[in-house]
């Protein structure tokens, strides 16, 4: 049977062509050729001069109860993916299926219900908490609004969630400025968990914290995942942290996913030249082990004017003629280890 392709124009005129995915119930999230373009210039009556292609046709699935790590340099589109999945911003193309339902097609009323199932923990625990509300109110506000538990059980429920996150009942009456960075991140986690989510985007949740506190928060996230059967999309530029928490890993470069697979496969044998360079910078715990650091030449090109062909070709030491003109397809190196590079076109 011929492949059925969706062809339509999104609200900003970007042509969107993709083959709709068939939902697999094992997956909580299915992202198919997701695009997020930001217009340059233009207005209500004038056309945009061009687009910043922050996310340009990214696909991946996340199985229920697992963690997918998303890594890459700053500006590669990691956080944009997280926010577009949650519909905190509109997509420019592609599909985002949560439990088989297209997140960007549902009504505002349905979206409000879905918000409790999909939560986010932000990088900066200092700015993501209202300074005017006591902690009990910050955590309990959405619980009340969404009627998560009956009114008479509200206090006991908040106490339970706080205890799961290592917070004491007396912390409820205190204000965010009275807490350390690590404790504030615990409050953010408690707030996200209180509405009983199934899926949480963790957007650099430990980057703003001291190294000693980072391990506590990561272990807390792992414990909570087990207790509540949570699924995480863990966005980070810290490869050691991602290795510790993830089951699968996606590597982003300039709005595209260049490599994806099981964590063990990606860390044991990275295939894409960009992944190899990125991973060569991971510090070795043994000072006697020699690091074979691969230094990338040049800087990351602008996503408003990305290179033709393979977007990495301007920095790749293996660049061939075909790389300058033709974007590579994704090749499966076995066990679902996907790599977008012409070197693997056998």
Please give the structure tokens belonging to residue 153: 């059980």
224 to 263: interface string for ligand SF4, x by CB under 6 A: ----------------------------------------
The SS3 of residue 133 is coil
Binding pattern to ligand SF4, positions 201-230, x when CB under 6 A? ------------------------------
230 in the Ramachandran plot: left (φ > 0), alpha (ψ -120 to 50) or beta?
Answer: beta
Nearer Cβ to ligand SF4 (291/320): 320
E runs forming strands in 64-110: 67-71, 93-98, 101-102
Q: Does 313 bind ligand SF4 (CB under 6 A)?
A: yes
333 binds ligand SF4 (CB under 6 A): no
* CA-to-CA dists, residue 184 to 91, 122, 123, angstroms: 31, 11, 11
The strand pair at 231-235 and 199-203 is best described as parallel
Residue among 327, 310, 307 at smallest CA distance from 319: 310
Polymer length of the chain: 346
Residue 294 binds ligand SF4 (CB under 6 A): no
Stretch that binds ligand SF4, among 63-71, 142-150, 199-207, 310-318 (CB under 6 A): 310-318
Residues 102-131 that bind ligand SF4 (CB under 6 A): none
Min dist CB 311 to ligand SF4, Å, is 8
CB of 51 to ligand SF4, least distance (A): 22
Q: Which of 61, 36, 82 is nearest to 201 (CA)?
A: 82
Distance CA 142, CA 197 (A): 12
Kindly state whether residue 343 participates in binding ligand SF4, applying the rule CB under 6 A. Answer: yes
Whole-number Å distance between alpha carbons of 309 and 325:
4
Under the binding rule (CB under 6 A), the answer on residue 308 touching ligand SF4 is no
From the list 51-59, 113-121, 211-219, 314-322, the region that binds ligand SF4 by CB under 6 A is: 314-322
Span interacting with ligand SF4, options 128-136, 233-241, 294-302, 309-317, rule CB under 6 A: 309-317
User: 171 vs 342, which CB is nearer to ligand SF4?
Assistant: 342
Size of the site for ligand SF4 (CB under 6 A): 14
The yes or no reply on residue 320 touching ligand SF4 (CB under 6 A) is yes
**Nearest approach, Cβ of residue 284 and ligand SF4 (Å):** 25
Q: Which residues contact 43 (CB under 8 A, 6 or more apart)?
A: none
Task: State the Cα–Cα distance between residues 11 and 104, nearest whole angstrom.
Answer: 12
Residues interacting with ligand SF4, by CB under 6 A?
272-273, 310, 312-313, 316, 318-320, 323, 328, 341-343
């Amino acid at each position: 049977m011929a492949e059925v392709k969706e062809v339509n124009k999104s609200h900003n005129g970007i042509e969107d062509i993709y083959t709709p995915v068939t939902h697999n119930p094992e997956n909580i999230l299915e992202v198919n050729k997701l695009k997020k373009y930001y217009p340059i210039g233009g207005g209500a009556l004038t056309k945009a001069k061009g687009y910043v292609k922050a996310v340009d046709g990214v696909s991946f699935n996340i199985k229920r109860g697992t963690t997918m790590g998303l890594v890459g340099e700053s500006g590669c589109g990691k956080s944009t993916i997280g926010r577009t999945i949650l519909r905190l911003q509109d997509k420019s193309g592609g599909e985002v299926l949560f439990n088989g339902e297209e997140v960007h097609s549902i009504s505002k009323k349905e979206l409000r219900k879905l918000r409790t199932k999909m939560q986010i923990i932000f990088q900066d625990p200092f700015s993501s908490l209202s300074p005017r509300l006591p902690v009990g109110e910050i955590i309990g506000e959405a619980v009340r609004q969404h009627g998560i538990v009956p009114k008479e059980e509200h206090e006991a429920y908040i106490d339970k969630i706080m205890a799961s996150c290592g917070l004491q009942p007396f912390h409820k009456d205190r204000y965010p400025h009275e807490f350390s960075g690590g404790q504030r991140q615990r409050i953010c986690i408690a707030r996200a968990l209180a509405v009983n989510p199934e899926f949480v985007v963790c957007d650099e949740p430990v980057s703003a914290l001291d190294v000693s506190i980072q391990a506590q928060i990561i272990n807390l996230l792992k414990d909570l995942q087990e207790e509540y059967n949570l699924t995480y999309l863990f966005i980070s530029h810290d490869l050691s942290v991602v290795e510790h928490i993830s089951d699968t890993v996606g590597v982003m470069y300039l709005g595209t996913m260049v490599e994806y697979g099981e964590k063990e496969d990606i860390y044991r044998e990275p295939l894409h030249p960009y992944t190899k360079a990125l991973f060569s910078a991971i510090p070795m715990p043994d000072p006697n082990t020699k690091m074979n650091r691969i230094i990338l030449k040049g800087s990351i090109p602008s996503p408003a004017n990305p290179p033709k062909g393979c977007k990495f070709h301007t920095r790749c030491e293996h660049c061939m003629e075909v790389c300058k003109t033709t974007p590579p397809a994704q090749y499966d190196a076995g066990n679902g280890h996907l790599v977008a590079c012409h070197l693997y076109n056998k």
